[in-house]
Structure 1
């Protein structure tokens, strides 16, 4: 019997669709149905006039286009004995607009139906994507029971209801959110994927940067990595490590931050509450660490220079253009930032393979992604070190 909750509203689907989900059959990974749906979904995004106002939605459209799906599928070509686990319950993060769609579509490629709790914050991108999901599903009516998007507050009873329904639970949120949701018991054979609080850093080789002729593009890439998400995304670097001599680092910093500032002042609006948050974190950092603020024209870019990198610095990250800087003479000096809470390491002017080898030699508890500057937010089916397709599917073995 389907339980009714007055606190639940359906952004996609209905109570009737929710009842039908119990009879949904898992699909093979990268099923014909999933590939056809995502291809049509991508086409609707990329042809929509209103979507052009939202770069993160456009990026999603490119991510799931037909050619991209073929590239993703190659990794799993030898694993045709995989089926989805059943229903995946996604707790989307409140501060990243399109994350829920990536999570849901990854689950669908893994052969599952999805119940998605949408972000609590009102994002226009969410409304746009819900409409595009609905329009695409109209072309594939048999797939309606595979997608249910809901909104509700902090209601433990509802969390318990959807947790009982699922075979996999995916929690995108801070540590406190994960702790709270884990009080809700899962079915015995269900598994869970959690994406906790993380921090990220960027490494810049000053010699290569100073010689670059496209410094405006570099600034745009860094802006996309940071300001587009208000640095709320775990992928957004809060640490900037400069490789080089003191003289070169000083010269590179002056050019880099002034070029970035030109972009920020034209495109970004700092809210009062964000300014207060930055100031609070600055005072905390000043009390507990040897740090000093670098003067800037205003509060759009807040720079804090530290003389030493320590693991504790990760606790002082903030958003809205808050950066902790350090000058390093060699890559090995970044090790204190590469603990278990470190997610993404972006780079400019550094050889990727050399960076990878340095990280492997450290054997850190963290660092799950190494990407070029400008691509920190590129979603992949291996995220935070977790293979989403394999984790959200099961193998039928033979002897």
Structure 2
């Protein structure tokens, strides 16, 4: 059990698991068999649930937890060193990505920790569905150890409650905007407690214009569908969703590529994305505001209400402050990737690519010493979260080495 007693009288709503005072904080090794068995059962339960057809983000999490993927992650993390979870990990999950709490919990489990995960006081439907599945598995005797080690709780934003939980933890995982992270970091934690903070980030997409222009109908439809998943599934709210599209090539080739890509995307959006009246007004308001406030914005194109595009004549160095919602994108044409030098900083997280050599691009980023871009993935993989995220080895950071020499 934890050497630091957990408070029993905090005003918490328990979405999964029993009271926190009874949590078992004895750590397991990373990727321990009981953990892998639990997550595999969770995957099977979720993928058999009809809710997966309603919520693609739940399906994505269930697919991520499948045994084959967990085995691949365990094999990649294997090494000669003995590792053990740190003890009790406190996770503060964000409100804008409902399934994020489940990934954070899974990372804590895979690292071998006991976990307390705080979800917003008014959880989204996806959160409630996932917590129901967790409760059902926690009730099964075969998963008694994992049930004893994990809790999902809810409470309104309250520094006193978070401080009381922080005082008892061995690791703290914070998700949120810059101001929220800064406020949470002021709350004390034990001297040896480790902390990982996933703050506000900015992401973009790099499309090779010649490759897009040369795509046949099937390839173009797939590209449009993949881009839709990156941007529209979470309304561009995810830190890894693109706001800026960079066209790699000359102006003429980029124009040909744009003439086929955006209409293909608009067709997907009209089929899949139910744009509400409020969202349409917000998007139009954003378009007008950016046009007025951003000197580099020289033109705009609308594909009905499905897509709004803002053409840039130059890339402002503070481009990360200009964000799209509900399908609003900035775009810029560049002859090469040197344009990244002017805009990439520590806030830049994910670069999705099409028709580009990602390994070569990654080496270029290393050679140039760019302070940002932690992920370079194909279009369609922006939302694929994993135990390496924001440049952190999350499972490694949440576990410790038991060293012999």
For residues 167-223 of structure 1, what are the alpha-carbon distances to aligned partners after superposition, in whole Å with 9 as ceiling and x for unaligned? 111111000110111121111111110011111111111111121122111110000
State how 1:266-281 maps to structure 2 within 5 Å: 266-281=271-286
CA contact (8 A) 2:172 2:196 kept: yes
1:394 matched residue in structure 2: 400
State how 1:19-58 maps to structure 2 within 5 Å: 19-21=21-23, 23-58=24-59
The alignment status of 1:348 with 2:351, answered yes or no, reads no
Q: Among 311, 317, 325, which residue is 1:319 paired with?
A: 325
2:62 matched residue in structure 1: 61
Q: Among 365, 387, 390, which residue is 1:384 paired with?
A: 390
Query: Secondary structure of the residue that 1:188 maps to in structure 2?
Result: coil
- Separation in 2, partners of 1:264, 1:121: 29
Query: Secondary structure of the residue that 1:308 maps to in structure 2?
Result: coil
- What runs of 5+ residues in structure 1 fail to find an aligned partner? none
- Separation in 2, partners of 1:120, 1:303: 36
2:296 matched residue in structure 1: 290
The alignment status of 1:10 with 2:14, answered yes or no, reads yes
Shift of 1:272: 4.4
State how 1:1-399 maps to structure 2 within 5 Å: 2-6=7-11, 8-15=12-19, 18-21=20-23, 23-120=24-121, 122-139=123-140, 140-213=143-216, 214-286=219-291, 287-399=293-405
Shift of 1:279: 4.2
Query: Secondary structure of the residue that 2:236 maps to in structure 1?
Result: coil
- Separation in 2, partners of 1:187, 1:240: 43
- Separation in 2, partners of 1:349, 1:200: 18
Shift of 1:119: 3.7
- Separation in 2, partners of 1:357, 1:307: 28
Q: CA RMSD in A?
A: 1.7
For residues 132-186 of structure 1, what are the alpha-carbon distances to aligned partners after superposition, in whole Å with 9 as ceiling and x for unaligned? 1112222212322221111111111111111112111111100011011112111
Normalising by structure 2, we get a TM-score of 0.93
- Separation in 1, partners of 2:192, 2:364: 39
CA contact (8 A) 1:31 1:111 kept: yes
Shift of 1:13: 1.8
- Separation in 2, partners of 1:63, 1:79: 26
- Separation in 2, partners of 1:280, 1:192: 38
CA contact (8 A) 2:81 2:402 kept: no
- Separation in 2, partners of 1:115, 1:11: 11
For residues 245-272 of structure 1, what are the alpha-carbon distances to aligned partners after superposition, in whole Å with 9 as ceiling and x for unaligned? 2111112112111111111122223344
CA contact (8 A) 1:281 1:316 kept: no
Shift of 1:280: 4.5
Shift of 1:284: 4.3
Aligned residue pairs: how many?
395
For residues 7-66 of structure 1, what are the alpha-carbon distances to aligned partners after superposition, in whole Å with 9 as ceiling and x for unaligned? x21111232xx1112x42010111111111111111111222332222111111121211
Query: Secondary structure of the residue that 1:311 maps to in structure 2?
Result: coil
CA contact (8 A) 2:232 2:273 kept: yes
CA contact (8 A) 1:39 1:66 kept: yes
- Separation in 2, partners of 1:398, 1:231: 47
Normalising by structure 1, we get a TM-score of 0.95
Shift of 1:277: 4.1
CA contact (8 A) 1:24 1:113 kept: yes
Sort the Cα spacing of 1:358 and 1:255 in 2 relative to 1 into closer, same or farther, 3 A. Answer: same
- What runs of 5+ residues in structure 2 fail to find an aligned partner? none
